[in-house]
Structure 1
Amino acid sequence: MGSFAYKLRFVLKPGHLEEQRLQDLLAFCREAQIDEVMFFIDPMNLRHVTEAEAAAWLDAIARAKPAVEALGVAVSINPLNTMIHDSAGNQLLPDQPFRRMVDVRGTESQVAVCPLCPEWRAYIVARYRQYAALRPRTLWLEDDFRFHNHAPLEWGGCFCEAHMQLYAQRAGVDSLERESFLAGVLAPGDPHPYRQVWLDCCRSTIVELAALLEQVIHDVAPQAKVGLMSSDPAVHAAEARDWHGLMAALSGPGGEPAVIVRPHLPAYMETSGMHYAWHFHAVSMLTAALLPEGTELYPELENVPYTRFAKSDRFQQYQLETALLLGSSGITLNIVDMAGNGIYKTEQAERWLKPLKPYLQAVAGMPLQQHNMQGVQVLVNELSAYTLHTGGDASMAGLYPQETFWSSLLSAYGIANRFVTQLPGNTEPVAIAGQVLRNISNEQIASLFANNCVLLDGLAVEVLVERGLGRLCGAKRVRWHELQSYEQIGNNGHCAGMDHGILRPYLSMAPCLEVEYEADAATVLTTVCRPDGEALFPGMVIANEGVLILPYRQENPYGLLNPQRRAIIQQFLAWRSAISPLMAVSQAPHVAVYGYRTQDEQIVAIANHSLDDVYELELSGLPAAGNWKMHHCACPEGQALDTEQQDGKLIIKNKIPFMSTVVIRCCNPTSAPGQNQVMNCP
């Protein structure tokens, strides 16, 4: 049995029914098996709290601390503000002479600060020294510890005079105007030197601040852990977040791993499992992949407005179960409102938290870490904002990488995959989206294509052609189109139970790339046609026998979800992969599989992101023999798996409920079956 910690975020408002709120909290901790309470500091106050204001909250926490710890529950502190999330009509106080953040349009925040401001740095060091004096288990840095998203600023900052002087110094010029500097940062084509200046300054500033706060925290409370809350990695990339550098800066004296991370789970209110899963792979899974191996993860379950009016019990349970896929050590629970009302007894969250915990603990004890994952290798790079080409608009969103597309798509199609931040090995397939190839040399790209079968989206094909490497995917010239169209399955083929299949009705149109291929380089799988049937140009193609091209951008990815497209991609991978990847090959939309392999065991996590129960699931790419055991919330200790083998596939006959996970494991498995030489579709 492993450990899976419930970390409850809680408001104990000084002098406001304090004893009653505490007693209700203690009862809930016992009933819901809470392991740690993260006490907020003045969470209704979106400004820089004073020493006296903080002291009142800390005094209340200090009064509660003995009773909480007597239950075996740890006490942590969660200050809501560092740089400030949102000005919300506030102003700096008269004795707060902080330089304020300036956004891309030159608008100055009323409260959010420039992180270079020496007066604010002295202030924030003093506050964290004050917080650390309570000797908390963990002292948190909120997710406003960043340059972006400080409403009502546009995007964020900082473009104040001090920053503009710093940028000019780094650029080797006497002075810079904000407009001309931003024009350089966002210039189309090869990145302008100003881009590196911007990214380098952001990257180093956050790490420098982290080191400053780590020092004061561990000077006062050497045993405390520092908790870092994070946001969408694609947005962090626009300020060149140094994930490994941050972890090193926040570690304890001598480099001990005294830092934990709260990745963002992409739903503050309930949404569909299908939608949630798409963004879970793009945000949460990517965060886990970018962090150093061994980082303790406690993702956020955050409900706005904090009751079942925000999320059902089932959806919350689904979020906790899927958080296991990150290799999480626990969860932060933001299920109690921030106004100070305390525990809503009518919510009865303990009814689902307590019975779910044994399953979470059982799976948390399994090796579901990123380095044990198997499947199609989805290439990503945290430094892509340095190299990508913008569309020439004036938006900072032009610096967001678009590299996670394949992970979300393949997962929806039941194809195991994992993010890789280094050049992939030569056994498993590689999926490439966006402009990630701009980070590696022509020689490295050529080697990758020579040794792997590859999946490409339209943006990746465009990059190859632009760099003179189109031959690697058989492409000579490319051109983007936005037009009303559909795709016709080639040769009037039979695919996914459909004759003469048509893919992607025009109403789900995304920009499509017309590729002119070299002679005999492409096997055309689908053809892009006008609604009247006129054939225009190839759609999905297998190029040079080992490259599958899906020639679209990512503006409307849901329009690409289709059972025939799924069949084409799965059969290409079975045909071309040196080792058959793990795939759910029966028709089960939005049932994702996640493969983990150690020296001693094979583990498969199955997440049903749909609203349909699954009563039978066929998996390919698993060991030919082995004794499988199945773990789920109704049987955390595991039970014998009801299976049969057929044509090299493992058929699971156990029910997989909607919006839930199950984990199957096999000790000392035999080797996986070889590749399938037959490609029947199209």
Structure 2
Amino acid sequence: MKKENPAAWYSLRRTLPPWRFGETLADLLELAPRFGIDEVIVKIDTEEFSHGHPDLDWAERYREKLFEVKARLAELGISYSLNPWITAGHADRGRNDLERLPGLECVVGHDGSVAKHCACFLSPVWREHIRALWRIYSETRPQVMWVEDDIRTFNHEPVEFGCFCPRHLRLFGERIGRPMEREELVRAILAPGRAHPWRREYLEMQRDIMVETAAFLAKTVHEVSPETSMGLMSSGPRLHCLEGRDWTRLAEALADGRPLYSRPPMANYYEDSLRGFYYSQDSVKLTRAVLPAGTVELTECENVPFTRFSKSVKFTFLELAISFAYGSEGVTLNLFDHAGTPMRAEEHYGRMLAEKKNYLTALMLATRPEGRFRGVRLIHAPGASAVKRLEPGAAYAELAEDGFEMMQALESHGVATTYQESEVAALAGETARALSDGDIRELLAGGLLLDGAAAGILVERGFGAWIGVEGIAPPVHRRDLSYVVSAEEFHNAGFGGEPGKYLTATLPFLGSASRFCDLRLLPGAVEVSSWVDPDTRRVAPAMSYFENGAGGRVAVHAIEYRSSFGPSFCHPFRREELHGVIDKLSGGVAPLRFSCDGAYALAWRKQAGKSTVLGVFNLNLDDWNRGVFTLSWESGKLPEIRSLDASGNWAEEAEIRAERIPGGITVKVERSVSSDLPLVLRLS
């Protein structure tokens, strides 16, 4: 894409199958300009009709078609990039490359499962083949060569996690100084309690292999086309903890001296619930946070299996709006099938792209300037999997980093989150083990929200006096507590509560699988809420607040968020509880919180130069009739406010006004907000 692009950038990912090439190319050349497409990323040998690892004769024949595509797109002023669908392979899908590539070594799972298509990155046959194949592709000199997210060590069906093939085991044995069998290594990796040192060593081995593999792919392309940039589709940093990914080293190796392109996953491959967008915005922000500055970001908007039975046009628009609202430079669009069906069969998506381009451009220009997203800082630790403590019988997937549910708990109640610096932070679960004592002291000197699991780790590490906790037991099901818990009473008026204000303890839903942490407070700690029994007697603290000697403010919620977040967690009273606590932790007024007469907001605040952009998506089918943004505000003057209309124009609205409050402002919205269009405001 152009470095300083003046409009919302659309990159269409499109397959032109050789057996219907002429028709699908003509369809593309006719419709791409009408849809406002800026770039076409040609996907090769894709999906249903993939051959697995394509043979070189096939690739050489298809290369001539790619030259034609590039030339015809250039006539239209549309950029050309390339997306081989297979690097190592996502899943076997019935393919058997062991027969087609003699000597190919495929991944072996932790459970002994063996793939027939998904290649091991150490396989010499795979490397020889991919080098020859990608040299053929690189001759077309694409703007970007995209590496799919099969450059990872998990989810290579039928293999779930890792590679424990003979080559990996030999290499691991060399690192520890003795031979190693798969079963012994897996037992050590999944051992309960304190992490076995072999787990870290295995993750570091995987990390080094992936960095070297990324360098190999980039060098292969740049030997032929040095001006081509490399692009990386990823699978979410919390999951990549499972492979010990070092994002900085991997990015530098793959970039190979060129600008790096990133395609963060937005999930929502099909339309399930608007609430899926909580993952989308978090994935964009977190992936950006772990990659080097200057990385070009184009989000991944998917639609599988590529019709309106899968995803509505309105849902697709909201996905694009979230991309640009959260500061992305463009979107990659995987909207049309890869089975040879012309785009005109689902032209509704294209009409939307054209109609909404002015709006999305205005949204992009408002949020792209340098600045920061304001909110509660979420903590990500790339080394979380190496130190996470497992319980007996834990599955490999449980090595993934905690923290996703904490994000959902805050965002679904109108509390904006960020991965940038902030006066208040939130930390959940076993991620706390991956932080140094210095990291923890820094957090404890500001505002910090802890779930019970993270609080227990801090107490274990000697920080109990810093958080106002004398003792806290590990998380257990409420049936294993010494007292009966029926509900949480949010009774403290200093945080917006009042006696008799009850929240259910049947979390996260009717199955009641939540885990509770028995909490004992130190003198000076304030009880924000309490657990009550069936007779409404208060039996234990549920949430506490404490101000420590370092000037820090700490709240502890005596539940494990990983097992507790769900429909039962969400409630108007919960919103009041979290808003009151976050304000206290912020030392006045939160960076941003949003309330409305409905449910499920997704709010954001971008500070860019002299302007502040506020926005909120309604992730509920019910319209709201009024809403209030509350935010810290340093200026002595009330801002001028303009809202973004559906045509991409900024205008004043009499129904939207700002008012002063101590330490901040409120922006009151006295008009309806539907799920069809986000409310976006520019304050200056």
Same fold (TM over 0.5): yes
More deviation in 519-528 or 70-79?
519-528
Query: Quick one: distance in 1 between partners of 2:41 and 2:440?
Result: 47
AA aligned to 2:199 is R
How big is the alpha-carbon RMSD for the aligned residues of Structure 1 and Structure 2?
2.4
1:116-141, Cα deviation, whole Å (9 max, x unpaired)? 11221121111111111011121111
Distance 1:537 1:510 in 2: 19
2:450 alignment partner, one of 425, 434, 456: 456
Tell me which residue corresponds to 2:586.
577
Give the letter aligned to residue 433 of structure 1. A
Deviation at 1:321, TM superposition (A): 0.5
Contact 1:407-1:418 at 8 Å conserved across structures: no
* Map of 1:536 onto structure 2: 539
Q: Report if aligned partners of 1:2, 1:362 keep a CA contact under 8 Å in 2.
A: no
- Unpaired segments of 5 or more residues in structure 2? 480-484
CA apart distance, 1:11: 1.6
Return closer, same or farther for 1:456/1:494 CA change in 2, 3 Å cut-off.
Answer: closer
Measure how far apart 1:309 and its partner are: 0.8
Is the CA contact 2:495–2:581 (under 8 Å) kept in the aligned structure 1?
Answer: no
Q: Measure, in 1, the Cα distance between the counterparts of 2:492 and 2:137.
A: 69
The answer to whether the 8 A contact 1:293-1:371 is kept is no
Partners of 2:585 and 2:45 in 1: CA distance: 58
Partner of 2:503: 503
* Partner of residue 222, structure 1: 226
| Alignment correspondent of 2:179 | 175
Does the 8 Å contact 1:336/1:344 carry over to 2?
no
Summarize deviations over 1:357-404 as a string: whole Å, max 9, x none: 112122222344796111211121122122222224342212111123
**Deviation at residue 566 of structure 1 after TM alignment:** 1.4
**Does residue 245 of structure 1 match 2:258?**
no
Give the residue type in structure 1 aligned to 2:607: R
User: How many angstroms apart in 1 are the aligned matches of 2:496 and 2:586?
Assistant: 21
Equivalent residue, structure 2, for 1:672: none
- 1:186 counterpart letter in structure 2: L
- 1:433 corresponds to 2:428: yes
Q: Aligned to 2:530, which of 521, 527, 530?
A: 527
Q: In the comparison of the two structures, how many residue pairs are matched?
A: 653
| Residues 180, 209 of structure 1: alpha-carbon distance in 2 compared, 3 angstrom cutoff | same
Tell me whether 1:7 sits opposite 2:11 in the alignment. yes
1:19 counterpart residue number? 22
C-alpha distance 248-492 of structure 1, shift in aligned 2 (>3 A): closer
Offset of residue 533 of structure 1: 4.2
> Is residue 128–residue 217 contact of structure 1 (8 Å, CA) maintained in 2?
yes
Say whether 1:112 aligns with 2:148.
Answer: no
Q: Could you tell me how far 1:588 is from its partner in structure 2?
A: 4.1
Q: Select the residue among 620, 631, 644 that pairs with 2:657.
A: 644
1:213 corresponds to: 217
5+ residue gaps, structure 1, are 668-682
Contact kept in structure 2, 1:431 and 1:456, CA below 8 Å: yes
Q: Does the 8 Å CA contact 1:514/1:551 hold for their aligned counterparts?
A: yes
The residue number in structure 2 matching 1:103 is 109
Q: Which amino acid aligns with 1:549?
A: V
Name the structure 1 match of 2:146: 140
Q: In structure 2, how many angstroms separate the alpha carbons of the residues matched to 1:368 and 1:529?
A: 48
Q: Check conservation: 2:155, 2:161, Cα contact below 8 A.
A: yes
- Tell me the secondary structure at the aligned position of residue 615 of structure 2: strand
- 1:375–1:417 Cα contact (<8 Å) kept: yes
The corresponding residue for 1:468 is 462
One-letter amino acid of the structure 2 residue matched with residue 620 of structure 1 = T
1:555 equivalenced with 2:563 (yes/no): yes
Q: What code does the residue aligned with 1:517 have?
A: R
Shift in CA distance, 201/73, structure 1 to aligned 2, threshold 3 Å: same
Query: Corresponding residue for 1:670?
Result: none
Q: Does 1:81 align with 2:86?
A: yes
User: What are the Cα deviations for residues 309-350 of structure 1, in whole angstroms up to 9, with x where unaligned?
Assistant: 100111001111011233211111111111122314354222
- Would you say the 8 A contact 2:641–2:657 is kept in 1? no
Q: Matches of 2:492 and 2:220 in 1, distance apart?
A: 69
Q: What does residue 126 of structure 1 align with?
A: 132
Take 1:53 and 1:189, find their aligned partners in 2: how far apart are those partners? 52
1:69 aligns with 2:74: yes
Question: How has the CA–CA distance of structure 1 residues 403 and 576 changed in structure 2, closer, same or farther, with 3 Å as cutoff?
Answer: closer
1:671 is matched with which residue? none
Cα 1:500–1:121 shift into 2, 3 Å = same
> Residues 67-114 of structure 1, C-alpha deviation per residue, up to 9 Å, x if partnerless?
222111112211110111111222123443211211011122111111
The residue type paired with residue 341 of structure 2 is N
Could you tell me which residue of structure 2 aligns to residue 381 of structure 1?
A: 381
Question: Would the alpha carbon gap of residues 481 and 185 (structure 1) be closer, same or farther in structure 2, given more than 3 Å must change?
Answer: closer
TM-score, normalised on structure 1? 0.90
Alpha-carbon shift at residue 466 of structure 1 (Å): 1.9
Q: Name the residue aligned to 2:169.
A: 164
Match of 1:566 in 2: 575
2 CA distance for matches of 1:370 and 1:166?
Answer: 44
Alignment-derived partner of residue 308 in structure 2: 308
**Secondary structure, counterpart of 2:638 in structure 1:** coil
Retained in 2: the 8 A contact 1:496–1:563? no
CA distance in 1, matches of 2:269, 2:346: 21
- Does the CA contact (< 8 Å) of 2:87 and 2:150 recur in 1? yes
Alignment match of 1:592 (pick from 590, 602, 609):
602
What is the deviation of 1:644?
A: 2.4
Aligned equivalent of 2:264: 263
The 1:13/1:645 distance shift into structure 2, 3 A limit, reads: closer
Q: Is the 2:427–2:450 Cα contact (8 Å) retained in structure 1?
A: yes
The correspondence for 1:631, drawn from 631, 637, 644, is 644
Give 1:577's aligned amino acid. S
* DSSP-derived class of the 1:555 partner: helix
CA shift at 1:167, angstroms? 0.7
Q: Decide whether aligned partners of structure 1 residues 94 and 430 sit closer, same or farther in structure 2, where only a CA change above 3 A counts.
A: closer
SS class of match (2:328): coil
Quick one: structure 1 residues 65 and 647, their matched pair in 2 at CA, closer, same or farther if it must change by over 3 Å? closer
Aligned match for 1:199, one of 198, 203, 228: 203
Q: Is the CA contact (8 Å cut-off) linking 1:11 and 1:39 kept in structure 2?
A: yes
* C-alpha deviation, 1:60, in angstroms: 2.2
- In 2, Cα distance between equivalents of 1:494 and 1:470: 23
Q: Which residue of 2 aligns with 1:189?
A: 193
Query: How far apart, in 2, do the equivalents of 1:62 and 1:160 lie?
Result: 39
SS of aligned partner of 1:299: strand
Alpha-carbon distance, 1:576 to partner: 4.0
Matched residue SS, 1:618: strand
- Opposite residue 6 of structure 1, the aligned amino acid is Y
Paired position in structure 2 for 1:149: 155
For the residue of structure 1 that corresponds to 2:156, the secondary structure is coil
The alignment partner of 1:621 has SS state of strand
Q: Deviations over 1:494-551 (max 9, x none)?
A: 9979871210252623433333424424322322234454543221222347322222
